[in-house]
Amino acid sequence: MATRLYTHPIFLEHITPPGHPERPDRLRALARALEGEAFSALDRVEAPAGDEATILYAHPAEFVARVRAAIPETGIARIDADTTASPKSWQAAVTAIGAANAAVDDVFEGRADNVFVAARPPGHHAEKTTAMGFCLFNNAAIAARHAQRKHGAERVAIVDWDVHHGNGTQDIFWDDPSVLYCSTHQMPLYPGTGAKNETGAGNIVNAPLSPGTGSDHFREAFLSRVLPAVHDFSPDLVIVSAGFDAHHRDPLAEIELTEDDFDWATGRLMELAGRHGGGKLVSLLEGGYDLQGLAYSAAAHVGRLMKG
Ligand code: ZN
């Protein structure tokens, strides 16, 4: 087996306004970073069409219909202050979900050791009934529920190291102890949630980081809060909400990580996934807005996944 990579040309057709940080060039930079010899063993697969019915795993039908109605026939429609949709955004969003669900199928059915999904739009800010923060639907949450419904997973851990708190994922699983949600993120920062005392049904673990936090404090937070929670939870599957905007080059935040930190964090999660769930790990791209920081970080992350 190997590490599988899902992507799809449709992800480049979710168009955002000029100057918007969440732009198609992110995926182009990421693809170039994964072209080298070191990645020749990657199992590259085009993402399958998604099943729209699985959106309902995390969002009510009324909300899904509202997002669909907001997709414009031409131009760019504004959904909230910083979340927009273009004519192909629906297909991109559904394909991103299809890729995440297929990645779950792959690790449960033995087609891959682990999987990285390079898709957009991202998902972790999408709450049950609110599209926000560049996100339409919550890909990680849908994938977690897919693992439970289709593969009988009893416990799914979602680890989110995007520099922004995943308010959407927290919202969706707030009272669902079958899913553990752990997040490291800068605080204060958008979207404003993610304090330590937000604990849901005991299944939410927030590790907020002060602006200026570097490798040492990030790793300490990961070691002291995130990893013990995942270990105690004994998940059947680990899903990573892999944003790379905590990289020091990123323009949207003030956390000072390097690509080595993403390599390290990936390795620690792989160890835990191996101990509890037979190594099943699915990683979904979230943020990361400096093209070079994103490319280097994703390369370090995927390189570590491939080392098995
Ligand atoms: Zn982010």
List pLDDT tens digits, range 180-236: 999 999 999 999 999 999 999 999 999 999 999 999 999 999 999 999 999 999 999
The pLDDT, as a whole number, for residue 221 is 98
Q: Which residues are within 8 A (CB) of 182 and not within 5 positions of it... i.e. 6 or more apart?
A: 157, 158, 159, 160, 205, 206, 207, 225, 226, 229, 230
Residue 242 CA to ligand 1 centre (angstroms): 9
Question: Distance (Å, rounded) from C-alpha 308 to C-alpha 2?
Answer: 8
Å from CA of 253 to ligand 1 middle: 8
Q: Point out the catalytic residue in the list 8, 59, 124, 125.
A: 125
Query: Ligand 1 centre and the CA of 168: distance in Å?
Result: 12
Residue 278, pLDDT score: 92
Q: Which residues of 5-21 are buried (b: 16+ CB within 10 A; e: fewer)?
A: bbbbebbbbbbbeeeeb
Cβ count near 64 (within 10 Å)? 18
- 192 three-state secondary structure: coil
pLDDT of 180:
98
Specify the pLDDT at position 1. Answer: 73
In this structure, what token pair is assigned to residue 176?
């669902």
Average confidence score pLDDT of the chain:
98
Measure the CA–CA gap between 18 and 106, rounded to whole angstroms. Answer: 36
Q: Among this protein's residues, is 151 annotated catalytic?
A: no
Q: How far is the CA of 109 from the centre of ligand 1 (A)?
A: 31
Residue type, 231: H
CA angle 44, 47, 52 (to 5 degrees): 165
Which chain residues have CB less than 5 Å from ligand 1, an ion? 162, 164, 243, 245, 287
Distance 16 CA to ligand 1 centre (A): 16
| Structure tokens, 41 | 């063993």
* 110 Cα to the center of ligand 1, angstroms: 31
Q: How far apart are CA 134 and CA 147, in angstroms?
A: 25
pLDDT of residue 308: 83
For residue 277, the model assigns a pLDDT of 87
CA of 182 to the centre of ligand 1 (A): 15
Sites in the chain below the pLDDT cut of 50: none
The rounded Å distance from CA 138 to ligand 1 centre is 14
